[in-house]
Amino acid sequence: MGMIAYLILVHRYPRQFKRLFRAIFHPANYYLVHVDKRSGVGLQTEIQDYLSSFANASLLKSQSIFWGGYSMVDAELRGIEELLKISSEWGFFINLSAQDFPLKSQTHIQDFLSLNVGNDYISVANQRKVRPDTLFRIENSFTEFGDRILRIPIKQPYLRGVTPYIGNQWMILSRKFCEFVCYGPETERFKRFYRYTLIPDEGFFQTVIMNTNYEGTIVNDDKRTILWVPAGTIKLRPKVFTSKDTEFLLASQGLFARKFDETVDAGILSILESNLLSPMWC
């Protein structure tokens, strides 16, 4: 079961999205795209028109997504559930943003996953030990209100008997875990709790996979190449890669990299496209 189900989250740059889509396209895979409702009808229409040429691609119903809110987790869970319904054949789920790009060809990625069926590639770290500075995200109540995240002046007790974990939003999950996280009764209390936390997309999946009866092989490596750079006092953000990073990216063992911005440097995308050497697109 080397076939892959992709969920791609888009909120801008339709041209860059199309380059990503072409770079990861394979007729055996499945593609589901979510366009942030806040991006407007124009972007959604353009992407819907583009995807209409591909029988194995479709749009997920658009909702507004707010960075830091549960709407991000909700979009991912809705996407996973929809992909499970679309096909019973795929073995792995991969989530991407439209500002990601593959470092390896689809053939390479499919071959790699075929040799690792049942593995879940997700970065996991004990939040209390490794990132105590982020505990306020789960110790206080937060909710999405209008166009922002509000902190509610109520402390919330953490889930009994659960160790909070933290990691990266981007992951490669086995079908088995996808079915577990969508339909397993054990996961319901995690969904209820994390709905009122801050930046749950960096903790929800990690905490579920590490604190339940799910039996899988967890690999603490999300297969993403990201360089985190300071952005303000404590916040880190992904460096926007440029052509100057070519050597670093081509030497990477990651399957995907982020972040790219065609308005900053579109040339790096051309270099990576050439490197993929996919006969379908050369």
- For domain 4-223, give its CATH number from 3.30.43, 3.40.50, 3.90.550, 2.70.40: 3.90.550
Residue 116 corresponds to which tokens in the numbers above? Answer: 């690792």
pLDDT tops 50 at residue 5: yes
Confidence at residue 239, expressed as pLDDT on a 0 to 100 scale: 93
β-pair type (140-145, 148-155): antiparallel
Q: How far apart are the C-alpha atoms of 79 and 102, rounded to whole Å?
A: 20
Provide CB contacts within 8 A for 53, sequence distance 6+.
none
For residue 154, the tally of other CB atoms under 10 A from its CB is 8
Residue 140 corresponds to which tokens in the numbers above? Answer: 């206080």
* End-to-end C-alpha distance for the chain, whole angstroms: 27
pTM of the model: 0.94
Confidence at residue 280, expressed as pLDDT on a 0 to 100 scale: 42
Q: How far apart are the C-alpha atoms of 96 and 4, rounded to whole Å?
A: 12
Instruction: State pLDDT tens for residues 86-131.
Output: 999 999 999 999 999 999 999 999 999 999 999 999 999 999 999 9
Give, in order, the Cα–Cα distances in Å from 90 to each of 130, 140, 233, 275.
34, 38, 42, 26
Confidence at residue 41, expressed as pLDDT on a 0 to 100 scale: 83
Comparing 27-31, 141-145, 150-154, 161-165, the range with the smallest average pLDDT is 150-154
What is the SS3 string spanning 58-95? EEECCCCCCCCCCHHHHHHHHHHHHHHHHCCCCCEEEE
Closest CA to 103 of 218, 238, 280, 272: 272
Residue 226 corresponds to which tokens in the numbers above? Answer: 């990201």
Confidence at residue 281, expressed as pLDDT on a 0 to 100 scale: 36
Instruction: State pLDDT tens for residues 26-69.
Output: 999 999 999 998 888 888 999 999 999 999 999 999 998 988 99
Confidence at residue 233, expressed as pLDDT on a 0 to 100 scale: 62
Instruction: State pLDDT tens for residues 183-210.
Output: 999 999 999 999 999 999 999 999 999 9
